[in-house]
Structure 1
């Protein structure tokens, strides 16, 4: 449980990290919000900047998680293990591959400590040249839902991947789902997926896309629709 008792302003900013990861209970978040309301404007800005930094890192890692790990990554990990663990590693390779995405929360912390470009470069298999990470550009676009809340999309045109998060958006009504659409220059929407739950920073929705497409969200009957049954409730143009 996060301790929200009044302490230093530095401690308040530290709480931005679990908040960004949705790792605090509602009552704890209310305590934090109360402390923020009473804090100096500079502290509130630092808190907000930290939240967005964490979410940006998680968005980048979610996109990288869609890629297969570089072949030499497994060799480097095995080489770093003690001999007795390396001898048993062959029986665990399949399990390790399935578990690779769980690296994201740990790597997010490392990104915040030593710089996102270094960790991103290592995940891309270029530990000797952190500047190689600059080849992957994440661009953030957002739009407001008609019923309140925010659609936040971190998109990489180079990878053709977009990470979708809903911020302060209610779940779909009973018997309904959110359906994500991609609309190209021909104006014809194609379904990118169904969302029965609200995608969060911890569990974002990741989809492929082509630059210039519009990502839109509509509310559809359970099971989805072949085409939007009404106007989208939010939409953004992807870079």
Structure 2
């Protein structure tokens, strides 16, 4: 395990630590605001990536990249490391003028020479350890970015990967999203959000009661002739965010009915909620 515990934030965010490392890092995390902020940022980035959709690159991208390569200045070649400076540097001094043997300075003892050599080795080991720690931080950061870019992974905090929820988020955030509200019995509310550009509609319910035993809530889209087409079943009552199946871009309205388990081909009861897309 790296001595620089701060460098583990990326691995922790993608659940890449073993049990011992995780326990140690979580103790550190409790008292390190910088690491908490870094972990939160990585998790937030992963959350954003979970709702991204694939898009084909433009045909001109490859040609543009190849053309730009010729304009990029290459890095200079690596050179041999220079002599260390500071305490580790060995400097040469001009020879001292000759003196009588009786006045010459006493030579350094073998013990002093050994002690200085040990100090020099210790400094070099310390610098090497710091360099390795920095290198480990860079490697972990790069690996974290790579994992985030790939997407489709599990982080320590569970991220919702349900494709329908990702689509619901896109509809709710669409520039042309239009909202239609309805109030249900018992004070519950239902809001249907439609995006004609995405050809989809989403229902958002709050405080909705559970369907009767043996029954389900079924969603419907109404066309221009008044015909109702099934748009799927709701998973239950309560607070729900559900994408209506089918193309909602030309629909004139949407509704909810109570149907037998498994749903019906056509509504068998009056809608408990209906909104017209005026």
TM-score in terms of structure 1 length: 0.46
Structure of greater Rg: 2
Higher helix share: 1
